[in-house]
A and B are shown apart, each in its own frame.
Chain A
Amino acid sequence: MVILGIVIAITFFPSEEKRVKKRFHLLSVWVSKSTEENAFTMLQKMRDIGSLFDEHCDLETDYPSLSGSYTREEISTYVGSARSHVSQLSLKFYDLQIVFPEKEVAQVTLTARLTGRSTAGEQMDETRELECLLRKTEKKWLFRQIDVVEVLKK
């Protein structure tokens, strides 16, 4: 009974760390695209992706044209547009290190690997270290800031 109680508690009342990891898992699932994906799934994923982000999310990359602050709607639109240029896409996260510097703020350092194939048949394989900031709003962890770590500065 005690073991059963512990299992139920872990399943139905996950720790904040697990809740944060779950958001990354959802982002991975919703960004990824299989060759058999139909239009309905695509639209649903596009709509769902926006719900993972705060009203405004700051993106900092080594491509100045991509860096900036984006609204949920803009993120959904941009991700949808990017996904339309690929026939297959896989986004995976590794080595998640989560700290909570303040109440309801999570800082995550992780490795992101994006692989896939463009509609023109070009192969993609990009791995980067990311630093993300998530804020808990209405019991949901939402992405507030994503920084691509610049390891080599030309």
Chain B
Amino acid sequence: MNANSEIRQFFFPSITLKFLIRVSSVALLAYLFFGHLCIPFSIQGISMEPTYHNGGVNFCWKLRYLFSEPKRPDVVAVRFAGSKVMLLKRVVAREGERVEFRDGKLLVNGKEIKEPYVRYPCDWNLPPRQVEKDSIYVVGDNRSMPIENHHFGQASKSRVVGGPVW
């Protein structure tokens, strides 16, 4: 077999039973992996800037919390609507903890939490509130916008679908 016929065989393989089984297996594995375990998603919005940029692409690893619970400062994907719309947010408090913002600083159980991932100035004020059972408190990294315009708050743990791969 010369080089030309090898190239031709690579790009235009003979349709044999072995070839069809191989193609079907790859398609099935790709569907299971990218459709159910490691789901590609595109980021829309600036609420996680500068950690995640608007228009960026990532993968949601759904087995991330199979044997563990989301904890501070994990970034999690929260199911927002249906199975396709998710919110990418950072966990700042767990169930039972008391969370508040004072002059832009995050306080959990009255203690200030260092947040190196928050790079933009923030002047948020939010009275203390206790995170309910089976819930986590999530916030975006971009706190330069007014507090009213930012989607954040307590989410049920059952809505956490996984975490970004990077």
A-side interface residues toward B, CB under 8 Å?
Answer: 94-95, 110-112, 127-129, 149, 151-154
Contacts and interface: CB of A to CB of B under 8 A. Distances in A.
A128 B80 CA distance: 7
Nearest to B151: A152
Contacts of A128: 81
Contacts of A129: 80-82
B79 to A, nearest CB: 8
Given A151-B159, A152-B138, A154-B126, A94 B152 contact: no
| Interface secondary structure of A, over-half rule | strand
Contacts of B87: 151-152
B7 to A, nearest CB: 44
Per CB-CB distance, the 6 closest pairs between chain A and chain B, nearest first, are A111-B82, A152-B153, A95-B82, A129-B81, A111-B81, A154-B153
B66 interface: no
12 contacts: A95-B81, A95-B82, A111-B84, A111-B85, A112-B81, A127-B80, A129-B82, A151-B79, A151-B81, A152-B153, A152-B154, A154-B126
B159 to A, nearest CB: 6
Contacts of A110: 82
B78 to A, nearest CB: 7
A30 B44 CA distance: 28
B155 interface: yes
A151 B78 contact: yes
Interface in B49-65: none
A127 B152 contact: no
B83 interface: yes
B151 A94 contact: no
B83 A95 contact: yes
B155 A151 contact: yes
Q: Which of A95, A127, A152 has the most CB of B within 10 A?
A: A152
A111 B82 CA distance: 5
A94 B80 CA distance: 13
A129 B81 CA distance: 4
B81 A127 contact: yes
A64 to B, nearest CB: 14
A70 to B, nearest CB: 23
Contact of B153 (A95, A112, A149, A153): A153
B164 to A, nearest CB: 18
A42 B114 CA distance: 55
Interface string B139-158: 00000000000011111000
Contacts of B151: 152
Given A127-B80, A129-B80, A153 B85 contact: no
A127 B81 CA distance: 7
Contacts of A94: 82, 84
B83 A151 contact: no
Contacts of A152: 78, 87, 138, 151-155
Nearest to B85: A127
Contacts of B152: 152, 154
